[in-house]
Amino acid sequence: MRNIFPIVRGDSNKTWETYCGFLGLSIEEFMEIQEHLLLEQIDLMSQSSLGKKIMQGTNPRSLAEFRRLVPLTTYDDYAPYIGDCQENALPEKPLYWARTSGRGGKTKWVPYTKKAIDQVGKHGITMLILACASRRGEVRISNGFRIMHNLPPKPYYAGIGALAMLQQMPLRMIPPISGTEEGSFQQRIQDGFMMGLRVGTDMICSLTSVLVKMGERFSDSSGSMKISRSMLQPQIIARLLIAYLRSKRAGRAMLPKDLWKLKGLICYGMDTAIYREQLKHYWGGEPYEIYGATEAPLAALQAWNKKGMTFYPYTGFYEFAPEEEWLKSRENKGYQPRTVLLNELEPGKCYEVIITNFHGLPFMRYRIGDLIRVIGLEDNEIGISLPQVIFERRADDIIDIAGFTRLDEKTVWQAIANTGVRYEDWSARKEYDGDQPVIKIYMELKDSNNDQDLQRLLHTQLKAVSKDYTDLREMIGTQPLRVVIIPQGSFQRYYEEKRRAGVDLAHLKPAHINASDEDIEGLLYLMRDQKQEK
């Protein structure tokens, strides 16, 4: 295993500067780094047939030329050249191919060069340091740092990223990362939890929804835990006993935070901001968020105060299409939206993210399909002079009614959470009641007696969090919401059927927004059976 960065030698000042020094950049310094790396990437891509195709035979010599001559792109522009893991059109031979999925189950493959993998590993260590820090310059990770996780395995980007971090520093992943993990996602979660009970953990890296559900199970069982034969080990019994005593001293049921004193809690998922307080209550740590995609690894991340995110200068060159430009391109597929740069962002505004990769990754002026919101041009609280952003939504995850009412996943999720109703999962989409468009939400509840007046509660909360929804209600004169309660076990049955069919990991559950007819039919399977029995 390579140990190539100063963190393994205990030099915390040099470690901080190596990994987190970008947080001290001015906007001018940030843009200089960006332009320098962009010109290197243009030169590299111009030597490949794919680069020539994307740049339409031009060879830009400046940032201005690049933005003027090269059109915005989507994965469809690259699929004929890399969609089946072809290598001939690339400027460098990939070390790994990362897999990701778009809407409709369409698989996308992304080539990662050796230099890109080295950077991914370094970015990952940056993330670990900041997730555990409470002040500038604080480094609380070291050799053997224990991370309990439920990251998807290679060839997914998260699995490749974990392997890349292990090349930088001897971390202890729980469960171990071998590169070709076996077993279902749920089984790996169980295995990691059991191993964490035995050996302890310093950090948890997980889907937010998994952590919330685990915390709810602890709370529901009043801290009781069924002791299996595999748990009859001295280390586990001792940990459970200490956790029990901690909970009794606090005068409450046992919670996950009684089992481990975490240094960091990295959460990923659109619902992290919604469930921040629950995460802190269950796990005892401040959730740490990052932003990225397989096509744009670790593009932005929070600083040590765990508030807004700062773009990372070494991932790729960033451009941003203002929301009004994005809407024009949504309505007119041939329209090329105008873009601005990081130093031209305006606070309070929403932008589509567009990236040109560095380090030999192939995407140029690539539309990731994400929207971010700028919450400030700097963070005066901790002395960061770079724009601060939050992830807003996926660009395509919108329920659009009447041409002006646009409900996104985060808004619907927030409204559901605000009702206080305990649920397993949900899916929402636009449907029609006669000739009237409506928003229909399919929900599986945890308790069968929780469905009283749910539609009224959710209607009230949607009005509270969305002006668009309120405007729609006033325009059509009737309540546009319909809630369908589906039988308990519906989402789990759907998951199991898809898993048995070998469906991609990203599509084992129906989309929260605009699920297909086939997905909704699958969810309603148990409901149809119950009606037939009656």
pLDDT mean across residues, the chain = 88
Which range scores top for mean pLDDT: 12-21, 240-249, 381-390, 431-440? 381-390
3-state helix, strand, coil in the chain (%, to 5): 45, 20, 35
Grade residue 517 by pLDDT with cuts at 50, 70 and 90: confident
Pairing of strands 296-302, 290-293: antiparallel
Looking at 111-115, 181-185, 477-481, 498-502, which range is the least confident one?
181-185
Q: To which H or E segment does residue 307 belong?
A: none
Which range has the top average pLDDT, 220-224, 484-488, 527-531? 484-488
The residue with tokens 């953990």 is 201
Closest to 163 in 3D by CA, of 145, 183, 151, 178: 178
Q: What is the pLDDT of residue 5?
A: 46
Nearest to 357 by CA among 161, 115, 79, 167: 115
Confidence of residue 2 (pLDDT cuts 50, 70, 90): very low
**pLDDT over 80 at 182, yes or no:** no
Alpha-carbon span 296 to 313, nearest angstrom:
12
pLDDT at 63: 97
Which residues have a Cβ under 8 Å from the Cβ of 245 and sit 6 or more positions away? none
Nearest CA-CA partner of 260 in 188, 186, 206: 206
pLDDT in tens, 424-480: 999 999 888 877 788 999 999 987 666 668 898 999 999 898 877 877 766 666 778
Structure tokens at 343: 């130093």
One-letter identity of residue 22:
F
| Token code pair at residue 416 | 């559901």
Cβ atoms of 270 and 409 within 8 Å: the answer is yes
Query: pLDDT over 90 for what percent of the chain?
Result: 57
CA distance 297 to 315: 7
CA-to-CA separations, 405 to 236, 402, 479, in angstroms, rounded: 52, 6, 14
Q: Are 163 and 146 in contact (CB under 8 A)?
A: no
**C-alpha distance from residue 145 to each of 150, 169, 287 (Å):** 16, 9, 18
Check residue 119 and give its pLDDT. 95
SS3 440: strand
CA 497/CA 517 separation, integer angstroms: 16
Q: What are the residue boundaries of the structural domains of the chain, listed by start? A: 1-69+78-307, 399-533
Q: Which structure tokens are listed for 29?
A: 């310094």
Q: What is the pLDDT of residues 483-498, one digit of tens each?
A: 999 998 898 888 888 8
3.40.190.10, 3.40.50.970, 2.40.128.130, 3.40.50.12780: which CATH number matches 1-69+78-307? 3.40.50.12780
Residue 505, pLDDT above cutoff 90? no
> Residue 1 — very low, low, confident or very high, per pLDDT cuts 50/70/90?
very low
Q: How confident is the model at residue 3 (pLDDT cuts 50, 70, 90)?
A: very low
Q: Is 165 left (phi over 0), alpha (psi -120 to 50) or beta?
A: alpha
Q: Which residues contact 186 (CB under 8 A, 6 or more apart)?
A: none
Count CA atoms closer than 13 A to 231's CA, side-chain side: 16
- Determine the pLDDT at residue 500: 82
pLDDT given at position 516: 83
Neighbour count for residue 532 (Cβ, 10 Å): 7
Query: 401, 430 in Cβ contact below 8 A?
Result: yes
| pLDDT confidence of residue 4 | 43
Bridge partners of 445, per DSSP, are 423
Encoding tokens for residue 315? 């991932």
pLDDT for the residue numbered 321: 97
Residue type, 403: G
152: enclosing H helix or E strand: none
User: Residue 107 corresponds to which tokens in the numbers above?
Assistant: 């698989």
pLDDT over 70 for what percent of the chain?
89
User: Which band of pLDDT confidence, cut at 50, 70 and 90, is reported for residue 514?
Assistant: confident
Whether residue 284 contacts residue 292, with contact meaning beta carbons closer than 8 Å, is answered with no
Q: Is the Cα torsion angle 319, 349, 295, 70 positive or negative in sign?
A: negative
Q: Which CATH superfamily is domain 399-533 in?
A: ANL, C-terminal domain (3.30.300.30)
Of 11 and 347, the structure prediction assigns the larger pLDDT to: 347
pLDDT attached to residue 398: 79
**Distance (Å, whole) CA 117 – CA 342:** 25
Examine the pLDDT at 180 and tell me if it is beyond 50: no
The single residue listed with the structure tokens 């559950």 is 509
Strands 350-357 and 296-302, how do they pair? unpaired
pLDDT at 8: 44
Instruction: Tell me how far CA of residue 295 lies from CA of 10, 93, 176, 336, 348, in angstroms.
Output: 33, 17, 25, 20, 26
- Retrieve residue 353's tokens: 């993210």
pLDDT digit string (tens) for 38-59? Answer: 999 999 999 999 999 999 999 9
**pLDDT at residue 222 above 70?**
no
Instruction: Find the length of the chain.
Output: 534
pLDDT at residue 314 tops 90: yes
- Range with the poorest average pLDDT among 42-46, 146-150, 206-210, 450-454: 450-454
Q: What is the dihedral of CA 231, 235, 241, 242, to 10 degrees?
A: -140
